[in-house]
């Protein structure tokens, strides 16, 4: 899969996904470290990437637009925060959520599991 890792998460997360065979890039590699959420969503959508973040604002932006893409994976605060742990959790569950992400969804990962919300929200 293709991923764009948001600034609020470590570049090590992108590196771990690349090591596992995925196409992943951190926003800093694009010079988007200070970009607003709209610009990051647009970049992810334009490149067909799933955005990985801990910023819940992305769900609200997608809902307000009635958007079906890009998909977003949100790590919640209760989730283990070390990048290698985030990589392990995502890789262990990616097969179960990949179809949803390809169709357009928000996947929320926390210590209790993964919740999927298909896009568009409210549509």
Per-residue pLDDT of the chain (123 residues; tens, 9 = 90+): 999 999 999 999 999 999 999 999 999 999 999 999 999 999 999 999 999 999 999 999 999 999 999 999 999 876 567 899 999 999 999 999 999 999 999 999 988 889 999 999 876
Closest C-alpha among 83, 61, 65, 105 to residue 5: 83
Q: Is residue 123 part of a domain?
A: no
Closest C-alpha among 18, 23, 19, 16 to residue 1: 23
Q: Hey, is 78 helix, strand or coil? A: coil
Question: What was the pLDDT predicted at 122?
Answer: 75
Q: Is residue 73 part of a domain?
A: yes
* 75 φ, ψ (degrees, to nearest 5): -90, 120
Domain count, the chain: 1
Q: Are 77 and 91 in contact (CB under 8 A)?
A: no
| Euclidean distance between CA atoms 46 and 78, whole angstroms | 31
- Reading the block at residue 61, the tokens are 């932006």
Q: Is residue 91 part of a domain?
A: yes
Token pair 């090590």: residue:
12
Question: What was the pLDDT predicted at 24?
Answer: 98
Q: Is residue 106 part of a domain?
A: yes
Residues 6+ apart with CB under 8 A from 38: 61
Write out the residue range of the structural domain in which residue 96 sits: 2-118
Q: Is residue 74 part of a domain?
A: yes
Residues 6+ apart with CB under 8 A from 34: 7
Question: What was the pLDDT predicted at 112?
Answer: 84
């Amino acid at each position: 899969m293709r991923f764009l890792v948001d600034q609020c998460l470590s570049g090590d997360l992108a590196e771990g996904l690349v090591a596992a065979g995925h196409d992943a890039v951190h926003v800093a590699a694009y010079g988007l470290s200070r970009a607003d959420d709209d610009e990051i969503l647009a970049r992810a959508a334009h490149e067909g990437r799933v955005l990985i973040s801990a910023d819940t604002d992305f769900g609200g932006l997608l809902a307000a637009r009635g958007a079906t893409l890009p998909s977003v994976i949100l790590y919640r605060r209760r989730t283990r925060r070390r990048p290698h742990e985030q990589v392990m959790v995502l890789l262990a569950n990616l097969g179960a959520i990949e179809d949803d992400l390809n169709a357009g969804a928000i996947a929320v990962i926390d210590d209790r599991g993964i919740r999927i919300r298909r896009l568009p929200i409210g549509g």
